[in-house]
Each structure stands twice: as structure tokens, then as C-alpha cells.
Amino acid sequence: NGFAVVRPPGHHAEESTAMGFCFFNSVAITAKYLRDQLNISKILIVDLDVHHGNGTQQAFYADPSILYISLHRYDEGNFFPGSGAPNEVGTGLGEGYNINIAWTGGLNPPMGDIEYLEAF
């Protein structure tokens, strides 16, 4: 068992595209290493950021060995990067292993303790 808090996560970087000031997706690279090289069969990634981690979601969208949960501002797709809708739940064997808790309504009032506690 293990736990890591990673900053910066690089969660906007996609497989072949730098995005949102992220050049490498540290979380995705590490999770793939743990899965492929160390044979870790179950990995949980919880992404707490005002922006959706589009790169991390893309990396594991069809992967049932990695559960990705993102809590972020969404505003019906009008907040950067525009992805992370609640109905984006994964595909194929990965369906159900991608969870987006996507808030809408701006930051007045801001998302706070109550919203995060309700999410879990």
C-alpha cells in the first residue's frame, strides 16, 4: 500500500501534447510505471484542482486498473480545459473507473469545505 501527494501533477499534459503549463503528466507516468513495472493491480488517483485533469483522464479512460476521480470547476464545459463532464465515465473495460465531480456556478461563493465533504 502507498500514498503520494504530488505537486505539480501535470494533469493537463496529454500523451503527445503539452497543455495548461504541463509538459509531463507526473501522475500518469507514475501510475503506468506502478501498473506495468511493479504489477500494482489497483491504483486510485484523486485529482483536487479547480481545473479538470484532462490528460490524466485521457491516459486511463479505458483502463479498469486505475480509478480516476476528479473534483473540479466545470461550468457546463465553459471552464478550462472544457472537459470533465459528469457523464464522462470511461469506455470499454474502463467504464465506471472515471468519475468527474464537476461543479458549476462560478466561484461566488467559492467551492469550500461543504462541497468537498458532500462529494465524499
Q: Which residues are catalytic?
A: 12
Compute the distance between CA of residue 79 and CA of residue 67 in angstroms, rounded to an integer: 23
Residue 61 to residue 7: CA distance in whole angstroms: 22
